A and B are shown apart, each in its own frame.
Chain A
Amino acid sequence: MTTEPISTQPQRKVRNFALLSNRAGAAFMLPAGLLVSVFVIVPFFWVIFVSFTNRTLIGKTALNPDFVGLGNYLALFDPATFFQRGQFGFSLILTTQFVLMSALVGQALLGLLLAWLIQTVPPWIKRITETFVIAAWILPEVVIGFAWFAFLDRDAGTLNMLLTGLGLPPGDFLLQQPFWVIVVFNTWRGAAFSMMLFNSAFSSIPPSYFQAADVAGASSWQKFRDIGLPLIRGHIVTDLILITMWTFNTFTPFLLTNGGPSYRTELVSIYNYRVAFQDFQFGKGAAVGVIMMLINLAFALIYLRLGRKKAPKS
C-alpha cells in the first residue's frame, strides 16, 4: 500500500516531461512547416492579392499588373451576364446541383444502401461487389475518364450495346445529357468512400442490438431505421461534409467532358481553369479561387466544430 504512491509519482512526472526539447521539436517541425507554408498558406494569401489585380498569363500585365480593386469580383457577379452559360453564376449553380445530386443524393445514399446490404449478404457477393465499387474509387482519374469515354461511345460503347440488347433506344449521352453523365459518373466514382465509412460505422454497433431486434421479429428496414440509422448519425454528418467538399473541388469531370458541350458541365473548378489558363486572365481566375476557398472554409469550419464537439480534449 505504501509503495504505490511512491512508484506512481515519479512516473507521472516522467510522463509530463517532454521527450523532445522545444528547440529539437521546432527543428523537427521546420521542413514540414516550410513546405506547408510555401505551398498551402502562401497560396491562400497570394490568391487574395492577385484577385485584386488584372494580372494575365501573357502580355504586358503579366509582369506589371495593375490594381483593379473589386473589378474582378464585380465582373464575376455582373447581374447582366451572371446566369448566362459559360459565366460564373451558371457555373456556381451547376456545381451546386452537381454536389446535391452526385454527392449528397448519389454517393451518400448509394453508399448507405451498399453498406447496409453487405452486412447481410454472403461473403463472396460482398467481396465481389466491394471489389468493383472500390476499384472505381482507387483507379487513376485519367484511366477512369477514358473508361467512361469508351463506355459511353455513341456507336460501339458498352452502354449503348446493352441498351440496344434490352430493346431500348441508344443515345449519345455525352452530347444529349452531359450534366446527368457527370452526376452518374461522380456517384459511381465516389460511392466507395461512403460505403466504407458507413460499413465501419455499422460494424461498430454491438451485434446484440440487432439480435434483440431479430428476436422481436423486426424487418431489415425496421432495424435500419430504428437501430442502424440513429446510431451512425455522427458518421453520416462527417460523410456528408467530406464528400461535399471533395465533390465541390473535383476536377475529374474535365477528363470526361472538357467542361462542354457549350459549358454545360463547366463546374467552378473547370471554370477556374478555363478563365486562368485558357483565357489567361489570372486576376479573374484568382477571384474565382478566393470564392471557392471561402466556400471550402465554411464547410471546413463546420466540420472542425463538429469534430471538436466529439473529442473535447483535443
Chain B
Amino acid sequence: MNLTIPAFFGRIAFSALAALIGAVFALPLLWFLFAPFNAQAQMGLAVPDPWTLSNFVTVFGNSYAVQALWNSFIQATGGVILVGAAATLAAYALSRSSVPGKGAVTYVLLLFSSVVSGSAAMVPIFLIISAAGIMDTHVAVILTFAGGLLPTAMFILRDFIDSIPKSYEESAMVAGASPVQAFFDVALPVIRPGIVVVVVWSFVNIWGSFLIPFVLLRSSDNMPASVAIYSFYSEAGTPIVTLLAAYSLIYSLPVVALYLFVSWKFGFRFFGGIKA
C-alpha cells in the first residue's frame, strides 16, 4: 500500500503531461476561436471587443465566396453519390458473387490505390481530363475523386457486407425474389450504416481537398472553397484576415459536424477501417 503515494504523483504527472500536450495542440487553433468574431482581426491573438458577426455578414454578402461554398458542395455531393453507388454495387458483388479472379482484382486494386496518389499522378490525371475535354468542369473533379476514393470505399464496404449473414437474402430468394430484388429490398437496408460511413468519409475527403481542384480547374466560377480561399487577399497580396477567418470557420463546419455525427453513431472504429 506504500505504493499509492508515488502512484498518486505519477498519475498527476501523467495528467499534467497529457493536458500540456493537449494545450500545445490547441495553440495554433486558438486564433480561430476569436478572429472570426472580431471585426478588427489581425494575425495576432486577441479577444474580440466587441464580439460580432459582421465578418460572417461580409462573407455571405460576397457572391464569389458563397459561390465557392456551393461549388464545394456540388463537387463533394456528386463525388459522394458516385462513390456510394459504385462502391456499394461492387462491394456487394465482391462479397456475394463468385466472379472468377475477384481475389486478384481485390489485391491489384489495393495495390494501385496506395501507389497512385494525387501528388504522384497529377500529370496523367491532368492529361486524361484534358483528353476527355472536361477540363475546368465540376465533372472533372467529381470523376477524379470517385476513381481515387473508390478502392478504399470498396474495401470498407466489402468488410461490412462480409459480416452480414447471407441467410437474409437467401430467405428472400426462397420466397421468390430475384437476386437483384434481394439486393435492393433486403441487403441494401441492412448495409445502409456501412454506406453512411463511406459517404461521410468521401464527403470529408473531397470537401477538404486542395490539390486536385487546384490542378484541374481554371475559372473562378468553378473553384471550390479550398482554392477560392486564396483569393481573399488584397491587391498588395496581404490576406484580408477578417474575411479569411470567418470563411475558414464556415468552411470547416460541415467537416466538424460530420465527424461528430460519425463518432456519435459509430465511435472511433470507423477510422480504424482505413487500415483494412
Contact = CB atoms under 8 A, between A and B. Distances in A.
Interface of A: 14-15, 18-22, 24-26, 28-29, 31-33, 35-36, 38-44, 46-47, 50, 110, 113-114, 117-118, 120-122, 125-126, 128-136, 138-144, 146-151, 153, 155-159, 161-162, 188, 191, 193, 196-197, 199-200, 217, 219-220, 238, 242, 245, 249-252, 255, 269, 272-273, 276-277, 282, 285-286, 289, 292-293, 296-297, 299-301, 303-304, 314
Nearest to A308: B107
Given A28-B89, A150-B43, A219-B10, 10 more contacts: A36-B109, A44-B112, A141-B209, A142-B210, A151-B27, A157-B44, A251-B210, A282-B123, A286-B124, A292-B119
B151 A138 contact: no
7 contacts: A22-B99, A29-B99, A120-B14, A129-B25, A140-B207, A147-B28, A304-B111
B96 A19 contact: yes
A142 B208 CA distance: 8
Report, nearest first, the 3 A-B pairs whose CB atoms are least far apart. Answer: A39-B147, A25-B97, A156-B44
A139 B28 contact: no
Contacts of B96: 18-20, 25
Interface string B201-237: 0001001111100010000000000100110000000
B86 to A, nearest CB: 4
Given A38-B128, A44-B112, A25 B93 contact: yes
Given A39-B128, A128-B22, A156-B44, A150 B35 contact: yes
Contacts of A28: 89-90, 92-93, 97
Nearest to B109: A36
Contacts of B136: none
Contact of B275 (A148, A238, A286, A301): A238
A40 B3 CA distance: 58
Most chain A beta carbons < 10 A, residue from B97, B100, B209: B97
B226 A142 contact: yes
Given A25-B96, A29-B94, A151-B31, A289 B15 contact: no
A151 to B, nearest CB: 4
B25 A32 contact: no
B63 interface: no
B241 to A, nearest CB: 8
Nearest to B15: A121
Contact of A296 (B19, B89, B115, B144): B115
Contact of B17 (A32, A117, A148, A191): A117
A50 B131 CA distance: 14
A97 B45 CA distance: 32
A260 B144 CA distance: 29
Interface string B49-75: 000000000000000000000000000
A31 B248 contact: no
A43 B210 contact: no
Contacts of A29: 89-90, 93-94, 99, 105
Given A28-B93, A255-B210, A158 B28 contact: yes
Contact of A140 (B29, B143, B251): B251
Interface residues of B, number: 103
A36 B179 CA distance: 25
Contacts of B21: 110, 113-114, 117, 129, 133
A314 B155 CA distance: 13
A136 B29 contact: yes
A153 B44 contact: yes
B98 A25 contact: yes
A131 B147 CA distance: 32
Contacts of B43: 149-150, 153, 155-157
A196 B268 contact: yes
A47 B116 CA distance: 10
A285 B215 CA distance: 14
Contacts of B44: 153, 155-158, 161
Interface string B114-158: 111111111111111000000000000001101110110010000
A188 B28 contact: yes
Which of B122, B166, B251 has the most chain A CB atoms inside 10 A of its CB? B122
Nearest to B113: A40
Given A32-B150, A155-B43, A300-B115, A196 B271 contact: yes
A249 B119 contact: yes
Q: Which of B26, B183, B230 has the most CB of A within 10 A?
A: B26
B22 A139 contact: no
B188 interface: no
Most buried by B among A131, A142, A159: A142
A144 B255 CA distance: 13
A249 B115 CA distance: 10
A25 B14 contact: no
B89 A193 contact: no
Interface in B81-95: 82, 85-87, 89-90, 92-94
A289 B259 CA distance: 33
B93 A117 contact: no
